[in-house]
Amino acid sequence: MLGRSARDRPTLMATPVKFYGDQPVNEIFAESLSEVGPTCEFAPFQNYSDTQSVDALTTALGAGTSMADALDGVQGAIVAYEKG
């Protein structure tokens, strides 16, 4: 993640990133960082949460089903996982 001081580095901010089609996305990431609260934390099981989200959304896209339904399923899976 870009630190707050990264915004003071114009060369870094203007550097194109190949993965993003050679766009200078660091400017967007730096701006987005200012919107994240100082108490924001990742879940202790973030990898599980991410995997559930990717799997459910990929399945929904392939099947043409509702994203809302997919996300409801993700929420249920994460709550069940958290409860152990």
* pLDDT class of 52 with cuts at 50, 70, 90: very high
* Residue among 48, 40, 41 nearest 84 (CA): 48
Rg (CA), the chain: 17
- pTM of the full structure: 0.54
Task: Give the CA distances from residue 6 to residues 32, 35, 40, 50, 83, in Å, rounded to whole numbers and listed in that order.
Answer: 13, 15, 19, 27, 39
Residues 61-83: tens digit of each pLDDT = 999 999 999 999 999 999 999 99
Share of the chain above pLDDT 90, in %: 58
Give the residue extent of every domain in the chain.
4-33, 46-83
List, in sequence order, the alpha helices (H) in 1-84.
10-14, 26-33, 46-63, 67-83
